């Protein structure tokens, strides 16, 4: 089978032991799925092979690729987790079980089962981020073959993809998968709009080819003159992202990052040197400059973004980054498979806990939600809604749901900051506690050890369930203390 040969080629630099595990996983999956067909009529093994190839392209470890091959054997075949553990090991069995749907619970409705499964998918990131990565690869291949499903199923899967899988991909920085999922979902949810935007983008790309080629030639000459090692890439903006902007009544000409040139260099000082050289060639549109190297995004994305005035009255975004940053811009957390192969699984999980703000919020929501329905409601409200990005006075970026107030900001920093808050300064101006924060706001919380005390009205002013809960806990604790006196 050609797909199997493709997989073998991708893992040829893995150790013999790792290759043997993957080969055994393929043989087992092929045997278990031997009588099954996909809705396209193809042998079912086509699907797990494609999932494993997506993972192998990410340089996933052998256990993850093996789990990708075996990811449906517990759900669709006559095989148990215990048998899988005995045949392979507990790690692979845990990964496969993590991506397996819940089907045998005594739940009252399809909706209850769906809520339980959605919660399992989302919270699996706390157990092992590799489960989510396998699930994203699984969903990506399923979306690529969605044409063989009925129209209503296409719509259902596409909506779930946008509501659950795209936010998860964004949170762990899996930008390549995220972009593909967005475009595939739009293709089935809004086919006419998808075709319209796709056509317009292709037209722009064709018209701008000469200009981009000319810019690359000019910048190349300047970089080589300054003895700078580099590689060039071009990028046209994701169709789904363009659609979202156009749906807000923006015009195509008002989107300044439709076209981008990516310049990948050796180190951070060279990034800033190249920025100066690019600006010496093409005037910058200053309001569109972003330094994500000094201030990385909350999913660790780093790069310099500058939009310049290009020939023929065009705007072109130039992104400047190191090779490591470029890997992160494609794979996010999965980059550690490229950089720290043997220890990657442990490093990925530690980075997730230490660096990714959503992890703490997810953990708290999971711990305090009384049932699956409340869990999903809070996730939608706190994590999967539109986001804003505000700054502390130290320059740290804090990610919050749109509509958040300084109360949410304070409790996101620390419970004591919220409980002791007596005032708020935003962009050097005092504001009320009901002020709605906006992206790029710089927020300073004024606290007092003696005068600070949450008020009951704060619960209504807060947007996030975390802030609401911590305020309630403080008030309840103080009421109990008063009752004892």
Encode pLDDT of 267-309 as tens digits: 999 999 999 999 999 999 987 899 999 989 888 899 999 999 9
Q: What are phi and psi of 294, to 5 degrees?
A: -70, -40
Angle at 324 between CA 319 and CA 326, to 5 degrees: 35
Of the listed ranges 100-114, 228-242, 430-444, the least confidently predicted one is 100-114
Please check whether residue 395 is in contact with residue 434, taking contact to mean a CB–CB distance below 8 angstroms. Answer: no
Among 17, 27, 72, 76, which one carries the catalytic annotation? 76
Contacts of 286 (CB under 8 A, 6+ apart): none
pLDDT at residue number 481: 59
| 222 pLDDT above the threshold of 60 | yes
d(CA 16, CA 22): 10
pLDDT at residue number 253: 79
Mean pLDDT of the 324-351 span = 91
pLDDT at residue number 485: 52
The pLDDT-based confidence of 108 (bands split at 50, 70, 90) is: low
pLDDT at residue number 357: 86
pLDDT at residue number 298: 86
Give percent above pLDDT 70 in the chain.
97
Q: What are phi and psi of 346, to 5 degrees?
A: -75, -40
Q: How many CA atoms lie within 13 A of 421 on its CB side?
A: 28
76 among known catalytic residues:
yes
| 167 pLDDT above the threshold of 60 | yes
| 41 pLDDT above the threshold of 90 | no
Cα separation of the two ends of the chain: 78
Mean pLDDT of the 130-155 span = 94
pLDDT tens per residue across span 379-417: 998 999 889 999 999 988 899 999 999 999 999 999 999
pLDDT at residue number 406: 97
Mean pLDDT of the 237-249 span = 90
Mean pLDDT of the 251-267 span = 90
403: nearest Cα among 361, 440, 439 = 439
pLDDT at residue number 238: 93
Contacts of 21 (CB under 8 A, 6+ apart): 62, 63, 66, 88, 92
The pLDDT-based confidence of 101 (bands split at 50, 70, 90) is: confident
pLDDT at residue number 110: 76
Domains and CATH numbers, the chain: 2-190 (1.10.3210.10), 192-333 (3.30.460.10), 385-484 (3.10.20.30)
pLDDT at residue number 403: 95
| 113 pLDDT above the threshold of 60 | yes
pLDDT at residue number 267: 97
| 480 pLDDT above the threshold of 80 | no
| 335 pLDDT above the threshold of 80 | yes
| 483 pLDDT above the threshold of 80 | no
pLDDT tens per residue across span 5-34: 999 999 999 999 999 999 999 999 999 999
| 179 pLDDT above the threshold of 90 | yes
Please check whether residue 95 is in contact with residue 67, taking contact to mean a CB–CB distance below 8 angstroms. Answer: yes
pLDDT at residue number 212: 92
Among 6, 75, 91, 288, which one carries the catalytic annotation? 75
The pLDDT-based confidence of 484 (bands split at 50, 70, 90) is: low
314-322 and 304-310: which strand pairing? antiparallel
| 157 pLDDT above the threshold of 70 | yes
pLDDT at residue number 102: 67
* Mean residue pLDDT across the chain: 92
231-236 and 259-265: which strand pairing? antiparallel
Rg of the chain in Å (alpha carbons): 25
DSSP secondary structure code for residue 364 in this structure: H
The token duo for 144 is: 């690529």
pTM confidence score: 0.89
pLDDT tens per residue across span 419-448: 999 999 999 999 999 999 999 899 999 999
pLDDT at residue number 301: 93
Please check whether residue 292 is in contact with residue 397, taking contact to mean a CB–CB distance below 8 angstroms. Answer: no
The pLDDT-based confidence of 104 (bands split at 50, 70, 90) is: low
């Amino acid at each position: 089978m050609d797909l199997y040969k493709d997989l073998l080629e991708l893992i040829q630099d893995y150790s013999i032991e790792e290759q043997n595990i993957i080969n055994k996983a393929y043989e087992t999956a092929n045997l278990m799925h031997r009588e099954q067909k996909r809705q396209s009529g193809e042998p079912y093994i086509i699907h797990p092979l494609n999932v494993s190839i997506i993972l192998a392209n990410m340089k996933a470890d052998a256990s993850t690729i093996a789990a990708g091959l075996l990811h449906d054997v517990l759900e669709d075949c006559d095989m148990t987790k215990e048998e899988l553990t005995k045949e392979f090991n507990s790690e692979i069995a845990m990964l496969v079980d993590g991506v397996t749907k819940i089907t045998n619970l005594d739940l009252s409705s399809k909706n209850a089962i769906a809520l339980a499964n959605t919660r399992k998918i989302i919270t699996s990131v706390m157990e092992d981020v590799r489960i989510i990565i396998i699930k994203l690869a699984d969903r990506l291949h399923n979306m690529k073959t969605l044409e063989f499903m009925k129209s209503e199923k296409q719509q259902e899967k596409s909506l779930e993809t946008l509501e659950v899988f795209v936010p998860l991909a964004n949170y762990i920085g899996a930008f390549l998968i995220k972009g593909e999922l967005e475009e595939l979902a739009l293709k089935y949810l809004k086919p006419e709009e998808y075709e319209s935007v796709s056509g317009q983008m292709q037209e722009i790309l064709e018209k701008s080819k000469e200009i981009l080629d000319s810019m690359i030639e000019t910048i190349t000459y300047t970089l080589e003159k300054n003895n700078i090692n580099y590689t060039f890439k071009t990028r046209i903006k994701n169709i789904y992202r363009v659609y979202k902007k156009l749906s807000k009544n923006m015009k195509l000409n008002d989107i300044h990052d439709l076209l981008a040139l990516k310049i990948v260099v050796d180190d951070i000082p060279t990034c800033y040197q190249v920025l100066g050289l690019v600006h010496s060639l093409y005037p910058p549109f200053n309001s569109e400059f972003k330094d994500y190297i000094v201030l990385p995004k909350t999913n660790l994305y780093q790069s310099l973004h500058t939009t310049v005035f290009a020939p023929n009255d065009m705007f072109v975004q130039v992104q400047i980054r190191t090779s490591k940053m470029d890997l992160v811009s494609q794979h996010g957390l999965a980059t550690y498979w490229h950089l720290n192969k043997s220890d990657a699984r442990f490093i990925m999980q530690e980075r997730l806990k230490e660096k990714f703000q959503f992890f703490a919020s997810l953990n708290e929501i999971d711990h305090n939600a009384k049932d699956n329905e409340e869990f999903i409601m809070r996730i939608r409200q706190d994590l999967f809604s539109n986001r804003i990005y505000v700054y502390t006075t130290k320059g740290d970026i804090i990610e919050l749901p749109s509509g958040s107030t300084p109360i949410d900001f304070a409790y996101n920093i620390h419970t004591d900051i919220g409980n002791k808050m007596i005032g708020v300064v935003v962009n050097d101006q005092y504001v009320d506690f009901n002020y709605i924060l906006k992206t790029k706001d710089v927020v300073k919380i004024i606290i007092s050890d003696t005068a600070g005390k949450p008020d009951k009205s704060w619960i209504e002013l807060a947007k996030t369930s975390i802030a609401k809960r911590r305020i309630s806990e403080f008030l309840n604790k103080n009421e109990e203390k008063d009752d004892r006196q």
